[in-house]
């Protein structure tokens, strides 16, 4: 029976099932090796596997051999087959006799007998007599060859190699009256085949001592090479910090645990390149060294404002600033840090990078940063302008003078201030402020309160409470880009002013032309007429352009996405909700509601999380 097979099929499971069938073995009794897996663009996937029977533990085979010997079923020194066969062969003075024993297996037993006669080198076999043996002669000796000396068959050592020279098995063929090889003879046989490494002499001694035949056993094993460890990058500074406020189980936003700034100086080592391992060589059973596969090389993740050392082992900062890992690259972003307040000691700050203020921003002082602004204290009546995000660990007490503009804005509270964000705005409370976001406005945390002022977002506004039991006027608007709406309103006012100016200018021009017709137009009046006509031309052009822009914005507004307003707790009377062109005044206190636009009207539905 085969010890191994190689199968190619379209699927792994199909290949394995076919191999197990051919080997007549279970999955637990075999070793499986994936040789090849192909998947072409226009061809079917194919899988090639090699499945080999596992070597049975020698103890199991020895136990079975002992059991057979005790039952008299394994005779290794006799010249006749053992009792498990369906025939007996005997050498007598007048000839060689064969006795077949089983009616059910008569045909197969005769085939085995023919093979056995060949193995025993029985001469001049009477094939006709052998062929004519049938049920009538069962149990009776039949002479099949003339008298002759029995040829004693020695046990032979068969060697098979596995796993590309990493393993060797031996199988002892069964002797028929002949000799069994000694340990030294087996060793000599192995050496003849150049097998010199990893030989298990003790295993060979066991096989020979217990006379285990016709079963393969591993008696030599080499050492597999070990692949080298892949190269890697060891970061020497924290590069994963990300600005994201932590929210406790109680819903409080903890702005003290942002930890978003990782400052480094020029020359700071940011990352180290760990080279790949060489691996460990192996050795096959022929004593030949098997070279290992070296690990894969890693590459230093060089980004902006960093440089690689001369020995190409380290990545250093080429400038002071904030280190971050962006798209797999280490970059250093410049950060300006104010250790205390922004006040008379610092003056106004204009910085091409990120600004970190440890204290407060006092009223009247401004910060202009091309990247983020983080203030750990309070912002008073100040102007903050950021190309990135604005993060206020406490909040803004604006006294109706604070103006903050940035990408996203996060603050604990916002009071009496004006905020504009290109992205989203998050806070725990917004009080009497003008707040605009092109994205969403989320007021959550412990309070989640919006009271007074004007709150506008293009996508969505969410809060726990809107308005107050005092009926505070609170305007909430979604669905439009606040800047577009603001510009639209400004254009309409401009158009009103233009029409007003054109009307007044027309009166002036008519009067001056009347004087001209009467011949009473002085030189000064003539100059005034020329200027008035030029101004009229300018105003008419400006009116045409403004009307075009208004029409364009009207189209944009008409096709805008609908937003929604969600209140998880209470919305009080005094709140006005505008969604696109639809308006809803709240006259009665409501709870757990989401307002959205339907068929031109603002309707109230159940709260949507």
- 307-322 pLDDT per residue, tens: 999 999 999 999 887 7
Among 18-22, 68-72, 505-509, where is mean pLDDT lowest? 68-72
Residue 247 shares a structural domain with residue 370: no
Lowest mean pLDDT among 159-163, 428-432, 561-565: 561-565
Give Cβ neighbours of residue 109 (< 8 Å, ≥ 6 apart): 85, 86, 87, 100, 101, 102
Average pLDDT over residues 479-499: 85
Look at residue 162 and tell me if it is in a domain.
no
Is pLDDT at 64 greater than 60 in this prediction?
no
For 2, what's the count of Cα atoms within 13 Å in the CB-facing half-sphere?
A: 14
- The alpha-carbon radius of gyration of the chain (Å, integer) is 48
pLDDT tens-digit map of 567-601: 999 999 999 999 988 899 999 999 999 999 888 78
> Which domain covers residue 309, as residue numbers?
233-284+294-332
Q: 412 and 552 share a domain?
A: no
Give the end-to-end CA distance of the chain in Å, rounded to a whole number.
Answer: 68
Q: Taking residues 538-561, what's their average pLDDT? A: 83
- Helix, strand or coil for residue 594? strand
Q: How many CB atoms lie within 10 A of CB 436?
A: 23
SS3 readout for 142-167:
EEEECCCCCCCECCCEEEEEECCCCE
253 lies in the same domain as 273: yes
For residue 181, being part of any structural domain is answered with: no
Instruction: Give the pLDDT band of residue 78 (cuts 50, 70, 90).
Output: very low
Would you state the torsion angle of the CA atoms of residues 335, 340, 341, 344, taken in this order, to the nearest 10 degrees? -100
Same domain for 491 and 476: no
Mean pLDDT of 74-80: 40
Quick one: 276 and 358 in the same domain? no
Comparing C-alpha atoms, which of 126, 132, 121, 131 is closest to residue 146?
126
Query: Distance (Å, rounded) from C-alpha 476 to C-alpha 441?
Result: 11
Q: Report how far residue 397's alpha carbon sits from residue 296's, in angstroms, rounded to the nearest whole number.
A: 56
Backbone φ and ψ of 475, nearest 5°:
-100, 125
466 plus 592 within the same structural domain: yes
Tokens 């001056």 appear where?
512
Task: Please give the structure tokens belonging to residue 406.
Answer: 């940035």
Phi-psi region of 56 (alpha: psi -120 to 50; beta: other; left: phi over 0): beta
**Mean pLDDT computed over every residue of the chain:** 86
What's the per-residue H, E or C state across 184-213?
HHHHHHHHHCCCCCCECHHHHHHHHHCCCC
| Bridge partners, 305 (sequence order) | none
- The reply to whether 101 falls in a domain is yes
d(CA 335, CA 261): 8
With a cut of 80, say whether residue 196 has pLDDT above it.
yes
pLDDT at 71: 40
Contact 122, 96 (CB under 8 A): yes
Q: Are 602 and 583 in contact (CB under 8 A)?
A: yes
**Are 135 and 91 in the same domain?**
yes
Region for 251 from its dihedrals, namely left if φ exceeds 0, alpha if ψ lies in -120 to 50, beta otherwise: left
61 within a domain of the structure (yes/no): no
The mean pLDDT value for 42-69 works out to: 63
Is 72 a residue whose pLDDT tops 60?
Answer: no
Task: Tell me, yes or no, whether 141 lies in a domain.
Answer: yes
Q: Same structural domain for residues 323 and 445?
A: no
* 553 and 488 within one domain: yes
Q: Are residues 326 and 443 in the same domain?
A: no
386 and 417 part of one domain: yes
pLDDT at 346: 80
Core vs surface per residue 266-283: b (16+ CB within 10 A) or e: eebebbebebbeebeebb
Asked if residue 433 and residue 315 are part of one domain, the reply reads no
Total domains present in the chain: 5
Mean pLDDT of 373-393: 95
Specify the pLDDT at position 217.
92
Tell me which of 88-92, 347-351, 438-442 is least confident. 347-351
SS3 at position 348: coil
The most confident of 74-83, 102-111, 387-396, by mean pLDDT: 387-396
- Identify the band that residue 66 occupies on the pLDDT scale cut at 50, 70 and 90: low
Measured distance CA(268)–CA(487) in Å, rounded: 48
* pLDDT at residue number 250: 61
Across the range 195-219, mean pLDDT stands at 91
Q: How many residues does the chain have?
A: 609
| Six token digits for residue 596 | 């959205």
Beta carbons within 8 Å of 436's beta carbon, 6+ residues apart? 419, 420, 421, 456, 457, 482, 483, 486
Measured CA to CA, the distance from residue 99 to residue 540 in angstroms comes to: 128
Predicted confidence at residue 74, as pLDDT, reads 39
Q: By 3-state DSSP, what share of the chain in percent is helix, strand and coil, each rounded to 5? A: 25, 35, 40
Q: What pLDDT, in 10s, does the model give residues 415-466?
A: 999 999 999 999 999 999 999 999 999 999 889 999 999 999 999 999 999 9
Kindly report which listed range (214-218, 348-352, 387-391, 400-404) carries the lowest average pLDDT score. Answer: 348-352
Examine the pLDDT at 526 and tell me if it is beyond 80: yes
Helix axes 183-192, 201-209, angle to 10 degrees: 130
């Amino acid at each position: 029976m085969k010890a191994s097979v190689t199968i190619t099929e379209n699927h792994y499971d199909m290949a394995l099932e076919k191999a197990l069938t051919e080997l007549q073995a279970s999955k637990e009794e075999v070793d499986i090796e994936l040789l090849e897996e192909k998947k072409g663009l226009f061809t079917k996937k194919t899988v090639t596997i090699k499945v080999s029977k596992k070597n049975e533990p020698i103890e199991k085979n020895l136990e079975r051999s002992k059991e057979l010997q005790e039952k008299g079923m394994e005779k290794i020194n006799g010249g006749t087959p053992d009792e498990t066969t369906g025939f007996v062969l005997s050498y007598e003075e007048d000839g060689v006799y064969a006795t077949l024993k089983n009616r059910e297996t008569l045909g197969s037993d005769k085939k085995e007998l023919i093979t056995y006669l060949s193995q025993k080198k029985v001469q001049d076999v009477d094939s006709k007599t052998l062929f004519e043996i049938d049920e009538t002669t069962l149990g009776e000796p039949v002479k099949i060859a003339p008298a002759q000396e029995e040829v004693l068959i020695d046990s032979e050592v068969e060697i098979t190699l596995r796993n590309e020279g990493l393993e060797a098995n031996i199988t002892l063929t069964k002797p028929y009256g002949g000799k069994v090889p000694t340990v030294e003879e087996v060793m000599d046989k192995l050496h003849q085949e150049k097998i010199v490494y990893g030989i298990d002499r003790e295993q060979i001694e066991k096989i020979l001592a217990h006379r285990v035949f016709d079963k393969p056993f591993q008696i030599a094993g080499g050492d597999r090479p070990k692949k080298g460890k892949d190269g890697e990058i060891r970061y020497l500074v924290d590069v994963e910090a990300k600005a994201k406020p932590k929210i406790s189980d109680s819903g409080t936003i903890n702005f003290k645990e942002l930890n978003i700034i990782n400052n480094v100086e020029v020359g700071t080592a940011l990352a180290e390149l760990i080279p790949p391992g060489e691996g460990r060589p192996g050795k096959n059973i022929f004593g030949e060294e098997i070279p290992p596969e070296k690990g894969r090389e890693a590459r230093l993740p060089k980004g902006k404002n960093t440089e690689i050392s001369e020995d190409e082992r380290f990545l250093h900062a080429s400038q002071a600033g904030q280190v971050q890992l962006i798209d797999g690259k280490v970059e250093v972003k410049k950060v300006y840090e104010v250790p205390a307040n922004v006040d008379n000691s610092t003056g106004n700050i204009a910085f091409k990078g990120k600004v970190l203020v440890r204290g407060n921003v006092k009223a009247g002082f401004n910060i202009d940063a091309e990247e983020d602004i983080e203030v750990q204290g309070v912002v008073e009546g100040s102007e903050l302008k950021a190309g990135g995000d604005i993060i206020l660990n406490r909040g803004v007490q604006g006294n109706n003078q604070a103006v903050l503009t940035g990408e996203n804005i996060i603050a604990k509270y916002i009071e009496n201030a004006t905020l504009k964000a290109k992205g989203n705005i998050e806070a725990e409370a917004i009080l009497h402020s003008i707040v605009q976001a092109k994205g969403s406005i989320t007021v959550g945390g412990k309070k989640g309160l919006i009271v007074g002022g004007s709150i506008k977002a293009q996508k969505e506004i969410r809060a726990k409470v809107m308005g107050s039991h005092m009926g505070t006027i609170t305007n909430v608007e979604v669905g439009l880009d606040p800047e577009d709406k603001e510009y639209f309103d400004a254009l309409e006012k401009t158009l009103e002013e233009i029409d007003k100016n054109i009307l007044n200018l027309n009166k002036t021009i008519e009067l001056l032309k009347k004087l001209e017709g009467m011949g009473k137009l002085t030189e000064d009046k003539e100059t005034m007429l020329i200027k008035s006509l030029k101004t009229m031309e300018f105003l008419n052009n400006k009116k045409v352009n403004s009307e075009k822009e208004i029409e364009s914005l009207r189209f944009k507004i008409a096709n805008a996405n609908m937003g929604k307003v969600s209140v998880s707790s209470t919305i009080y009377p005094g709140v006005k909700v505008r969604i696109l062109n639809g308006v809803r005044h709240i006259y009665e206190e409501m709870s757990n509601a989401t307002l959205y636009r339907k068929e031109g009207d603002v309707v109230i539905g159940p709260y949507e999380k």
